[in-house]
Structure formats: C-alpha cells, structure tokens
Amino acid sequence: MHLRLATRASPLARWQTERVAALLETHEPEVRCELVTVETVADQRLDIPIWQIGGKGVFVTQVQALVLAGAADVAVHSAKDLPGRTADGLALAAVPERADPTDALVGARLADLPPGAAVATGSARRRAQLAWRRPDLTFVELRGNIATRLRRLEDGPAAALVMASAALDRLGIEPPVVERLSPSVMLPQVGQGAIAVECRSEDAAGPVGALVAAIEHAPSRQAVDAERAFLAELGGDCDLPAGAHATVATDGTITLEGLLASLDGHVLARLRRSGSDPAAVGGGVARELRRAHPVD
C-alpha cells in the first residue's frame, strides 16, 4: 500500500509525520509512506498573532484540505492544534503514544526571573498562568518555528520563552537553561505532546483506517479525547486562556484537570474530576468551570 501523509512543512511537523510513517511501516512492512507538505498561512504570516489569523485550527485546515481533496490519504497534526470538534468529512483515526505534555521555560528558571522580566510567548494560556504566579512579568509576542524562536531569544528583549517540552525532545534540542513546568504550575494546552492522525470519514472503516488505527495508543487516545471534549464544551475554537491535562490509570479511570482564566491572569480557576467516559469527564469539567467562573 502506498500512503500519502499530509503535513505542515516545519521541521517539527515533518519529524512527527516521519515518526507516524515509521510506526506504520513497522506495523505493516508492505506500506510505503510519502510526505505531502504544505506551508500554511500561519507559517507564512509570522508578523500576525494567531488569534488575528483565525485562532485555533489555523495550522491544520490547509493540511486537512489536502486529504479532503484526495491529494493525501491521511493528515498528521500536533493534537494541540486541533479544534475541539473534528472537521466534517474527517475522522480522528489514531493517537500514537503521547510524549511529555508539559510546557518548558527556556532561558531562565521561573523563580530566577528578575522583577519585570519579559517572557516571550504567543499563547494567552501561558501568559495568563505566568501572570497569575508572577504579576510582575511582562510579555512579548513570539511566532515562528522552534529554531526561529530560540534565535529570537538570543537576540531579543526577552529573558525567557515558553514552548512545548515535546518539541525540544523531538528535535533533540537541549538549551543551557530549561525548566519543565509541571501541570501543577502550568496546565498544558489540550492535546499537547500528542500526535493526531486523521483520515477521510469514508476511509475510517476501510484499509486506510484499519492500518492507521493499528498505531493507536489507547491511554493516550482516551486522555486526548477527554481534553478535546473539554475544549469542545467551551466552544470548540475557544480563544480564552484555557488548558486541560488528562491522565489514565491502569484501571481505566480518567482524571482531568481543567483551567479557565481571564486574559490578564487576575482570575484563574482550576477543577479536577474523574470518571470512565472521556466525553463526560472533559465536558463536565468545562461546564462546571464555566458556571462557577464566567471569565469572558
């Protein structure tokens, strides 16, 4: 079988897609994978904040379009880039084993940042949580691939920047100073550290869907499903500072902690619930947070 994998053209996106290709070819030696790359508008317009371009989903729609148009068989994404609800015509076929979901502070440890220090991040979620813990901090916008961001840290006004720990691991980058922020300090973005593989809905029950489903890691899928249910309940394309992190115990119990904050970090609410159904756990946490803490 010849399988075309659609992906963004960035080094991290290519690494993730090559990882999926390796898993597929290991599972089924007869499979030969080909990468089909696209440079998204979000990759091209680094001068504009993500929320102005289109918010959550801006990194995936052009990749998904390749699959829907028949130019590729599956799409490979960072799960954190997906909206809470799967696009019409597509199915989430697999979530391989998740990597480290945490955020990493690069350039300085949080406790070592001087009063008023600037931190570079384009994420409202990260800004709100850092502002809640350190109201003295200031923030500067940061866009671009991992290498670009690290260069800007060296040349720019920021004392530190925030990025996904999994990105550092996957690209083999070891900054001189890095602090991985535990979920108790900074709750991750929905799906962070996970890879999502989509196919056309009509292919989900066929050979393509069966092949891709073989590389699924069940606990990772349950955790991502619970987190995406949290996001979907908030609106699917939520632009509020929100985060969620789910874990799955050996007995199948899913525990999710969700966060909802104001943009300035003055209001920050967290809630943890457990259960056996990903949709019920994630959606329930979002509803409770929204009722108790209407921040928008």
Cα–Cα distance measured from residue 284 to residue 39, given in angstroms and rounded to the nearest whole number: 37
pLDDT exceeds cutoff 80 at 202 = yes
Give dist(CA 111, CA 134) in Å, integer.
9
What pTM value is reported for the model?
A: 0.91
Asked if residue 177 lies in contact with residue 170, where contact means CB atoms within 8 angstroms, the answer is: no
Give, as one character, the DSSP assignment of residue 236: S
Higher pLDDT, 50 or 163: 163
Residue-level pLDDT at 154: 80
pLDDT greater than 90 at residue 240: no
d(CA 100, CA 191): 11
Residue-wise pLDDT tens digits, 127-183:
999 999 999 999 998 867 788 888 878 877 899 999 999 999 999 999 999 999 999
Please give the positions annotated as active site. 81
pLDDT-derived band of residue 280, with 50, 70 and 90 as boundaries?
very high
* Residue 238 reports pLDDT greater than 60: no
Over 80: is that where the pLDDT of 45 sits? no
Mean pLDDT throughout 240-267? 93
Cα–Cα distance between 223 and 280 in angstroms, integer?
A: 12
Q: What is the mean pLDDT of the chain?
A: 91
Statement: residue 17 has pLDDT above 90:
yes
Q: Report residue 52's pLDDT band, with 50, 70 and 90 as the boundaries.
A: very low
Confidence grade of residue 199 (pLDDT, cut at 50, 70, 90): very high
* Tens digits of residue pLDDT in 207-217: 999 999 999 99
Give the pLDDT confidence of 64-116 residue by residue, as tens digits: 999 999 999 999 999 999 999 999 999 999 999 999 999 999 999 999 999 99
Within a 10 A sphere around the Cβ of 136, how many other Cβ atoms? 10
**Whole-number pLDDT of residue 296:** 53
